[in-house]
Structure 1
Amino acid sequence: MSLLSVRDLVVKFAMRDQTVTALNGISFDLNRGERMGIVGESGAGKSITGFAILNLISRPGFIDSGHVMFDGMDLAHTSDKALRTIRGNRIAMIFQDPMVTLNPVLTIGQQMVETLQAHRSLTRRDAEKIAVAKLREVYIPAPEERLQQYPHELSGGMRQRIIIAIALLLDPQLIIADEPTTALDVTIQADIMELLLELCQSNNVSLILITHDLGVVSQMTERTLVMYAGRIIESGRTRAIINDPQHPYTQGLIKALPQQTLPGERLKQIPGNMPALSAIPPGCPFNPRCEYTVDRCRTTIPELVRVGPVEVACHEVQRMNRDTETEEQTA
């Protein structure tokens, strides 16, 4: 049985003059110990998916329908008391900015000890021992000294390592990492992602990595969901999606990677922008930006169908494949 099973999840936001849909029929499974990436541009619904799994959608947002089954419990329809036994304990979340996550007026030790004591019957001394052990696990030097320091006394990379240590404090079964290296220097980003991968593998922890960077996803995850305008438009094994993307949006994301462009050339980009939630076009939401658009794309939402090793939501995927084969034969 899957550790996490999301079915037909719909999240809406009640605005002053209308209700908009942020997630529209999201469904996926995550196995124990599996690492999955969720990718897409800003506004695709990636972070909302992470928050919805933990039922952390704040008003005016709300889960309108669907199920989030975690180890037999539906997190979308359960009490706040039951959710408190899950959040931070069995499911941990790593947010984008560690300075927002860490409390600036409490020492690192206070924050780690309080987290442990909120979920475990531990003395302060025992909680501090566990905190020191977790700091060592994420390669924090002089961990006993770090417990006495405040977040502003540490570098960005050190703070993010501490966030990871806090996420691992209670030995969770699942970590949701929402753009965990956004605020960090490029050289530090690689170290943090390598550390996160190592810890998930050594502790058999499932991972949902939310990011816009397909390069990171290719190195970190086994399976990938590509999202656009609140929908999953392609899903499958990461290697299959990276090597042979089927949806024109996924193809555009890969072509836009810097390594796909020769030195001195302009970076490739997908024309247009992600639509606002209040102005999602009818039919396929990607149709205004897609070179393969036909009349059906403007009126009918495509369903996810299996094409080889992946599932893709595109009316014209067969025609695209024929065009690609023709181009390759001509070349």
Structure 2
Amino acid sequence: MSLLSVQGLTVKFAMRNNTVTALNDISFDIGQGERVGIVGESGAGKSITGFSILNLLSRPGYIAGGSIMFDGQDLTKLSDKQFRTIRGNRIAMIFQDPMVTLNPVLTIGQQMVEQLQAHRRVSRKDAEIIAVAKLREVYIPAPEERLKQYPHELSGGMRQRIVIAIALLLDPQLIIADEPTTALDVTIQADIMELLLELCESNNVSLILITHDLGVVSQMTQRMLVMYAGRIIETGGTREIINDPQHPYTQGLINALPQQTLPGEKLRQIPGNMPALSAIPPGCPFHPRCGYAVPTCRTVRPELRRHGGSDVACIEVERLHGTTPHKVDYA
């Protein structure tokens, strides 16, 4: 049985003149202790997926269909009061910027103690002991002193370690990490990701890693979902997809990596841009940017089907492998 099972999830935003679809019938499962990456360009629907699971969608966004089963319980059916027993307790989230997560007017100790006492019947003294233990777990030096400090007194890397410690405070079953190293220096990013991987493995915690960095996904996850315009267009084992991508978009993302070009060469960019939610084309949403597009791609929405080592949503996937793309008009 999966720890998390998302089936047919559809998220819409009610705008002034029309309603747009941000997630279009997406489905995936995550087992206990499994690590899954969600990748794609900005606007693909990665963060909306994480927010939907935790019921953090802001108006005018709403879940229009589908189910989110967590440990046998449909999260879409819970009241706000019921959800508070899940969010931050059994499912934790790590956001991009730790300064958004941490309250600037409260000490680290106050925030960690409040988090514990909101979900557990513990004294302040016992809560502080647990907080110190979690800070040690993420290799924070002099943790007793850190409890007395405010977020602005700490470095960016230290703040993100504390955010991870807070996420682990209540021993969650699932962590959703939304671009957890975006705001950090490159030299610190690797340390944070290595720490997160170590903690998930040692505590058997499931992880959803939302990122645009395929290099991080290849090192951190066992399976990955590639999203485009609110749909999952390829899914499978991380190693299989990285080594043999089936969808033209996935191929484009991998080919655009700097290490795929020689020094002095231009990066191999995917032509065009992600469509706006109000202007998603019919058929395959990627067809205006795809070098393999045929007229059918403009009218037929491809469904996920097995090809190679992954499930891929592309009607031309057989022709794509081993052939040369024909020219299309990207205008």
2:7 matched to which residue of 1?
Answer: 7
Structure 1 residue 83 displacement after superposition: 0.7
Q: Deviations over 1:203-252 (max 9, x none)?
A: 00000000000000000000000000000000000000000000000000
Following TM superposition, by how much is the alpha carbon of 1:309 offset from its aligned partner in structure 2, in angstroms? 2.0
* Structure 1 residue 74 displacement after superposition: 0.5
Q: Does 1:219 align with 2:207?
A: no
**Alignment correspondent of 2:318:** 318
Q: Which runs of 5+ in 2 are unaligned?
A: 325-331
By how many angstroms is 1:318 displaced?
0.2
- CA distance in structure 1 between the aligned counterparts of 2:186 and 2:200, rounded to whole angstroms: 22
Measure, in 2, the Cα distance between the counterparts of 1:82 and 1:318. Answer: 47
Aligned match of 1:328: none
Cα shift at 1:267: 1.0
Q: CA deviation at 1:88?
A: 0.3
Q: Which residue of 2 aligns with 1:288?
A: 288
Q: Which one-letter code corresponds to 1:323 in the other structure? A: T
- 1:176 is matched with 176
Q: Could you tell me how far 1:58 is from its partner in structure 2?
A: 1.5
Please report how far the alpha carbon of residue 5 of structure 1 lies from its aligned counterpart in structure 2 after TM superposition: 0.2
Q: Which residue of 2 aligns with 1:143?
A: 143
By how many angstroms is 1:80 displaced? 1.2
SS of alignment partner, residue 303 of structure 2: coil
State how far apart, in whole Å, the 2-side matches of 1:202 and 1:297 are: 45
Paired with 2:321 and 2:260, the residues of 1 have a C-alpha distance of 20
Partner of 1:303, secondary structure, is: coil
**3-state SS of paired residue (1:235):** strand
CA RMSD of aligned residues (A): 0.6
Measured after TM superposition, the shift of residue 54 of structure 1 is: 1.1
Which 4+ residue blocks in structure 1 deviate beyond 2 angstroms? none
Where do residues 19-58 of structure 1 align in structure 2 (5 Å cutoff)? Answer: 19-58=19-58
SS in 2 for 1:283: coil
1:93-113 alpha-carbon deviations (Å, 9 max, x no partner): 000000111000000000000
Q: Which moved more, 1:168-177 or 1:262-271?
A: 262-271
Answering whether residue 257 of structure 2 is matched by residue 261 of structure 1, we say no
Q: After the TM superposition, which residues 48-127 of structure 1 pair with which residues of structure 2 at under 5 Å, given as runs?
A: 48-127=48-127
* Residue 278, structure 1, aligned to residue 272, structure 2: no
Question: Mapping of 1:302-317 within 5 angstroms?
Answer: 302-317=302-317
Q: Secondary structure at the match of 2:207?
A: strand
Residue 323 of structure 1 and its aligned partner are, at CA, apart by 1.3
Query: What's the secondary structure of 2:224's corresponding residue?
Result: strand
Tell me the distance in 2 between the aligned counterparts of 1:203 and 1:261.
Answer: 39
TM-score (norm 1): 0.97
Aligned to 2:327: none
Shift of 1:179: 0.1
Match of 1:327 in 2: none
Mapped partners of 2:306, 2:79: distance in 1: 37
3-state SS of 2:322 partner: helix
The residue matched to 1:234 in structure 2 has which SS? Answer: strand
Structure 1: 5+ residue stretches without partners:
325-331
SS of 1:56's equivalent in the other structure is coil
Name the residue aligned to 1:18.
18
Q: Distance in 2 between matches of 1:105 and 1:152?
A: 9
Aligned counterparts of 1:68 and 1:57: Cα–Cα separation in 2: 14
Letter in 1 for 2:298: R
Match of 2:159 in 1: 159
Alpha-carbon distance in 2 for matches of 1:102, 1:217: 26
Secondary structure at the aligned position of 1:322 is classed as coil
Query: Where does residue 206 of structure 1 map in the other structure?
Result: 206
Q: CA deviation at 1:140?
A: 0.2
**How many correspondences in the alignment?**
324
1:296 Cα deviation from its structure 2 partner = 0.7
Equivalence for 2:329: none
Give yes or no for contact 2:244–2:309 (8 Å, CA) kept in 1: no
Give the counterpart letter for 1:160 in structure 2. Q
Deviation at 1:82, TM superposition (A): 1.4
What do the CA deviations read for 1:168-194 (whole angstroms, capped 9, x no partner)?
000000000000000000000000000
Tell me the amino acid that sits aligned with residue 299 of structure 1: T
Kindly indicate whether the alpha-carbon contact (under 8 Å) linking 2:14 and 2:61 is maintained by their aligned counterparts in 1: yes
Report the Cα offset of residue 322 of structure 1: 3.3
Amino acid at match of 1:32: Q
